[in-house]
Amino acid sequence: MQESTYRKNAFTYATIVAMGGFVFGIDAALISGAVSYITEEFSLTEIELGFAVGASAWGVLLALLFVGYACNKLGRKRALQISAAFYLISAIGSALAPNYVVLVASRFLGGLAFSSISMASMYIGEIAPPKWRGKLVSMIQINIVVGLSAAYFINYLIQNLANSGAKWVNAIHLDTETWRWMLGSEIVFALLWFILLFFVPRSPMWLALQNKLEEAKNTMRKVLSEKEVTAQIQQMQQAIANAGSNTSSLAQLKEIFGKSMRVIFIIALTLAIAQQATGINAILFYAPTVFEQLGLGTDAAFAQSIWLGVISVVFTILGLLVVDRIGRRPMIIGGMIWIILSLSICYYGFSTATYTISKENITELKKVPDVERLNTIVGESFSSDIEFKNALIEQLGESEAKKHSSELMQKAATLNGLLILIGILSFIAAFQSTIGPVMWVLFSEIFPISNRGIAIPFFTLITSLTSSFVQTFFPWQLENLGISTTLLFYAGTVTVGLVILFIYLKETKNMTIEEVQLSLAPKK
């Protein structure tokens, strides 16, 4: 079998499995377009909205408690198929949800499928040849950002169609059930992924753990030469033998906290927290809301959100192309510095903004009931979005102030919008080309065969927990701390992670999983 055939097979299997990242991206970002609609339809508070958006992130916390067992007991492939089924059921339930409780429950169910990201990382890391592993595992991240980009475009398209006034739009209730069409668009992608997963082989490493060596060899022959298969099988058998009887989930979990994995634990824990503490999911999952803080109207905010998707795709591809050339450590360290600088730019832009309502604004704000109530604050300059929003609530009442917040911000804001936009897009570019994909590459490399079935889901649990808090409390932070302070908090957290990783993180490119273990073992 020729090298081109091995490459084709490896990339085909990785592409199918990594499509779980695409469905994840679709699932994660579609809700960003529905935020204002569900808030109004179900009369949600900031915390209730946070739980509606973050329900999927809390769902994955439950799933990750069992995914290690499922991966070891059922196999990586079967566990991925179950995740695809959860995505499908969740999309249907979210689109048809008759009330807030059903919506949250459906999104929570979808969160059970978010564990597919860690499982996909595990599967690809186990089937990919070492020389291609970085690129193939990074495909998960590129699928995520393509999914995010597709979701923003779908939301923008549906939003425009809903406001078009076309007869067919009214006939299918796209104008009145806009958010249901947004969330329901995921169904077709989840179904497609579920079907395609039947065409990938089972993980060779899992087969070796089940003592199905001949089937493991047959799978590896599709991506490696016979000589490479023999060498890899020998390494697997040696690693399994070294693991001894330490195969129970509890034993594997204890090993993660053991002295022999001290350095790996520090690296993985820091990466798991720092990646999500950047606030990436606050920006991505609430994209239109964030852009409204720039003083953009609702339609313009939806349009600007597409740029997040475009930048994500371009820079993830860039990261994918260089991850095996530059190396893991330079990309992580350099990326975190880039993220801190980008967030600092955004902080400066928002912290120097002012908000003032003029008499002309009062005349133009025809949609706001009894807009004359704002005459008492005409000409008054507010130095932060929090002060301005509080003044609006005092004059209009909480319900009306929130309902017309976007339009009022658009009229009143005086800020360096271009600087902030550059900062936001720079932040997205930094994350998607460095720590976003490279964390998953490292997760697929740094854990030993004896506990990777538990270790990868465990640290994915940590990053998911961090993401859950970020998503759930972002609306509250926005209302109580303001956008500038919230972004400064993210930058500070990333700085702490940068210091830790600068000390402990080592280079792992072009190493086999076994060689990585030796390089990260504590010095005696």
Q: What is the mean pLDDT of residues 519-523?
A: 67
Residue 136 has pLDDT above 90, yes or no: no
Task: Give 294's pLDDT tier (boundaries 50, 70, 90).
Answer: low
Instruction: Name 261's Cβ contacts closer than 8 Å, sequence gap at least 6.
Output: 255, 448, 451
CA distance 314 to 327: 19
The pLDDT, as a whole number, for residue 177 is: 87
Please state, for a pLDDT cut of 70, what percent of the chain lies above it: 91
Question: How many CB atoms are closer than 10 A to CB 230?
Answer: 13
The pLDDT, as a whole number, for residue 162 is: 83
Residue 244 has pLDDT above 60, yes or no: no
Q: What is the mean pLDDT of residues 235-244?
A: 68
Q: In what order do the strands lie in the sheet with 381-382?
A: 381-382, 354-356, 413-414
Residue pointed to by tokens 């009022």: 408
The pLDDT, as a whole number, for residue 131 is: 73
The 10s digit of each residue's pLDDT in 357-415 is 888 777 777 777 777 787 888 888 888 878 888 888 887 777 777 777 777 777 777 87
Q: What is 308-365 written as a DSSP string?
A: HHHHHHHHHHHHHHHHHHH-HHHHHHHHHHHHHHHHHHHHHHHHT-EEEB-HHHHHH-
The pLDDT, as a whole number, for residue 296 is: 57
Residue 173 has pLDDT above 90, yes or no: no
Residue 93 token pair: 């339930």
CA distance 25 to 11: 20
Range 44-80 burial, b when 16+ CB lie within 10 A, else e: bebebbbbbbbbbbbbbbebbeebbebbbeebbbebb
CA distance 153 to 142: 16
> Which of 277-281, 321-325, 352-356 is modeled with the greatest confidence?
277-281
The 10s digit of each residue's pLDDT in 49-108 is 888 888 887 887 788 777 777 888 888 889 999 999 999 999 999 999 999 999 999 999
Instruction: Name 151's Cβ contacts closer than 8 Å, sequence gap at least 6.
Output: 25, 26, 28, 29, 30, 32, 33, 309
CA distance 265 to 257: 7
Residue 512 has pLDDT above 70, yes or no: no
Alpha carbon of residue 441 to chain centroid:
15
Instruction: Name 223's Cβ contacts closer than 8 Å, sequence gap at least 6.
Output: 6, 9, 10, 13, 127, 128, 129
Residue 161 has pLDDT above 80, yes or no: yes
Instruction: Name 464's Cβ contacts closer than 8 Å, sequence gap at least 6.
Output: 57, 60, 61, 64, 114, 276
Residue 104 token pair: 């949250």
The pLDDT, as a whole number, for residue 523 is: 62
Residue 430 has pLDDT above 70, yes or no: yes
Q: What is the mean pLDDT of residues 469-488?
A: 86
Residue 250 has pLDDT above 60, yes or no: yes
Helices of type H across 397-434 = 398-403, 405-412, 417-433
Please state, for a pLDDT cut of 90, what percent of the chain lies above it: 22
Residue scoring higher pLDDT (313 or 17):
17
Residue 482 has pLDDT above 60, yes or no: yes
* Contact between 63 and 115 (Cβ < 8 Å): yes
CA distance 93 to 202: 30
The pLDDT, as a whole number, for residue 65 is: 74
Residue scoring higher pLDDT (380 or 180):
180
Residue 195 has pLDDT above 70, yes or no: yes
Q: What is the mean pLDDT of residues 166-190?
A: 86
* Contact between 115 and 67 (Cβ < 8 Å): yes
Q: What is the average pLDDT value for the chain, to the nearest integer?
A: 82
Q: What is the mean pLDDT of residues 477-496?
A: 90
The pLDDT, as a whole number, for residue 491 is: 95
The pLDDT, as a whole number, for residue 196 is: 95
> Which of 1-10, 23-32, 226-235 is modeled with the greatest confidence?
23-32
The pLDDT, as a whole number, for residue 88 is: 95
CA distance 30 to 148: 8
Residue scoring higher pLDDT (112 or 454):
112
Task: Give 269's pLDDT tier (boundaries 50, 70, 90).
Answer: very high
**DSSP β-bridge partners for residue 414:** 354
The pLDDT, as a whole number, for residue 275 is: 94
